[in-house]
């Protein structure tokens, strides 16, 4: 191969490499926009929630007694908190003019 042919081949290879680099840079620029990053984060969160839900469902199928106890405990805590909150609103010493009605 002559020197001139080598130079032409090298320039062609450099042009191809430059085109690949620009394409990669354009792709990265598109992927790193705030909107694209937010969509990726949302997709990741969705996938994690789905995996957690499937794992929890499988655990509940294997141990329904434990799952029922956990659900019962959850609702008991909610009921106690609501009862405590309602009791605080009706406590003596508070009036409608306190701004806490």
Q: Which residue's structure tokens are 């840079």?
A: 25
Over residues 1-13, the mean pLDDT reads 91
d(CA 87, CA 84): 5
Q: What is the pLDDT of residue 85?
A: 85
Q: What is the pLDDT of residue 88?
A: 73
Q: What is the pLDDT of residue 99?
A: 54
d(CA 28, CA 44): 19
In the predicted model, is pLDDT for residue 89 greater than 90? no
Q: How does pLDDT run across 13-55, given as a tens digit for each residue?
A: 999 999 999 999 999 999 899 999 999 999 999 999 999 999 9
Q: What is the pLDDT of residue 98?
A: 53
Q: What is the pLDDT of residue 13?
A: 96
Degrees, nearest 5: CA angle 57-76-101: 125
For residues 87 and 19, which has the higher predicted lDDT (pLDDT)?
19
Q: What is the pLDDT of residue 1?
A: 65
Cβ atoms of 68 and 74 within 8 Å: the answer is no
């Amino acid at each position: 191969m002559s020197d001139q042919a080598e130079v032409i081949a090298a320039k062609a290879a450099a042009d191809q490499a430059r085109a690949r680099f620009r394409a990669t840079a354009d792709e990265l620029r598109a992927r790193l926009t705030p909107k694209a990053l937010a969509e990726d984060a949302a997709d990741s969160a969705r996938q994690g929630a789905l995996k957690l839900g499937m794992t929890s469902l499988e655990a509940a199928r294997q141990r329904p007694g434990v799952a029922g106890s956990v659900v019962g405990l959850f609702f008991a805590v909610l009921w106690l908190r609501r009862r405590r909150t309602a009791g605080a609103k009706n406590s003596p010493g508070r009036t409608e003019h306190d701004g806490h009605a």
